[in-house]
Amino acid sequence: MHLSKRALMGGMLALPALSRVVAAVPGRFADRDYDGAIVIDGLGGLADPYGKEGDPRFSLRAWTELKQSGVTAIHCTVNEVGNDPDVAEKTLRNISSLEQAITDNTDMLCRATSAADIRAAKAAGKVALFYGFQDTSAIGADLSRIDLYHGLGVRIIQLTYNKRNLSGDGSLEAANAGLSDLGRQTIEAIEAHRILLDLSHGGQRTVAEAIAHAKRPPIISHSGCRALNDNPRNIPDAEMKALADKGGVFGIYYMPFLAANSKPTREDLLRHFEHALQMCGEDHIAIGTDGMIFKTVIDDAARAAQRKFYEERARKGIAAPGEGPDVFNIVADYDSNMRFRMLADDLAARGWPAARIEKLLGGNLMRLYREAWGA
């Protein structure tokens, strides 16, 4: 998910007091536990669907819904994916745009480069944004660029996107050739800078070889379980287990790739979380929606935008099986700003204990972030 061109637009003055959204109900996740939890979208985005074009302030409605959601922090992609020659230049512009958006909304948002920053955001009632890459094409063979991006706040770097780059094969490369020598050097440089290595979108051999080569626990921030839907964007059981054995964390997305018909239901999503629990254990699972917080408005304009988005991805060869001109990147049953709270309630109703749900909501990611970035 890329940074929206309309990210953080709108107008807002002060936020009124919020009433509790969900009352304490037997079989549901307790209000006090949800209110106290650090809730992290391990790969998402933030854009104001209600704001006025050109207004740098976040709208009151969007901020109200964002606060109601309970989210504490969001991993935002700032790089430009693909092997085009201008990806590094576009990446720097993306970082600059997001920095400006945070500056324009410092009463609501902050940039995080450490786990302590996320905790501070929770205490201050703000939402922390932290920066990540979904490709190493903006780095290429010049590994000194990693130091530059680290200095600009990047704390997560994904090795590949869907196609092959200089580091290795992405999930859509039929050859499944795995890591290159440069890919191994890139992993070492990422870890040397205390940046978290992300293996989402990787080909099966790339993921397996990168986990084996890594010295620190990596992450697969947004994916699904291949055993439940045989899609190249999903991860096989063996690599899920290897990731957990290395101390890493596996994040489940709210994406069409969860189901063969590209229209995943509530039950499909819950099955992926429960399979990930079986493969990885409760200390190694998380959420990475690969989407936005707010309910998706599906109208004629949205349909036209989705068609254009898909056609551009298809032209570049980066559209995965399951994508389509009329396929929206949502789980319709959870298409709400309350998607994290809804998930917590549904898992509680299925017998998940509160401590496990808190780990899933953000506790496991906080542990991994502390190990990668420092306290």
Q: Is the dihedral of CA 212, 216, 221, 227 positive or negative?
A: positive
Q: How far from 110 is each of 45, 118, 134, CA to CA, in Å?
A: 14, 9, 21
Q: How far apart are CA 127 and CA 70, in angstroms?
A: 9
Q: What is the pLDDT along the chain (375 residues), one digit of tens a residue?
A: 333 433 432 332 232 333 333 344 556 899 999 999 999 999 999 999 999 988 999 999 999 999 999 999 999 999 999 888 899 999 999 999 999 999 999 999 999 999 999 999 999 999 999 999 999 999 999 999 999 999 999 999 999 999 999 999 999 999 999 999 999 999 999 999 999 999 999 999 999 999 999 999 999 999 999 999 999 999 999 999 999 999 999 999 999 999 999 999 999 999 999 999 999 999 999 999 999 999 999 999 999 999 999 999 999 999 999 999 999 999 999 999 999 999 999 999 999 999 999 999 999 999 999 999 987
Task: Tell me the residue type at 214.
Answer: A
Q: How far apart are CA 184 and CA 157, in angstroms?
A: 14
Q: How far apart are CA 95 and CA 79, in angstroms?
A: 8
pLDDT the model gives residue 3: 37
Q: How far apart are CA 261 and CA 229, in angstroms?
A: 10
Structure tokens at 29: 């996740």
Q: How far from 91 is each of 109, 139, 220, CA to CA, in Å?
A: 21, 10, 22
pLDDT the model gives residue 106: 97
Q: How far from 101 is each of 106, 132, 185, 352, CA to CA, in Å?
A: 9, 16, 34, 38
pLDDT the model gives residue 24: 43
Structure tokens at 146: 């990693």
Count of CB atoms within 10 A of residue 72's CB?
A: 24
Residue at token pair 């190694």: 284
pLDDT the model gives residue 85: 87
Start-end of H helices in 145-203: 145-151, 181-192
pLDDT the model gives residue 25: 52
Tell me the pTM. 0.92
Beta strands in 127-175 (DSSP E): 127-133, 154-158
pLDDT the model gives residue 184: 98
pLDDT the model gives residue 26: 52
Structure tokens at 286: 């998380």
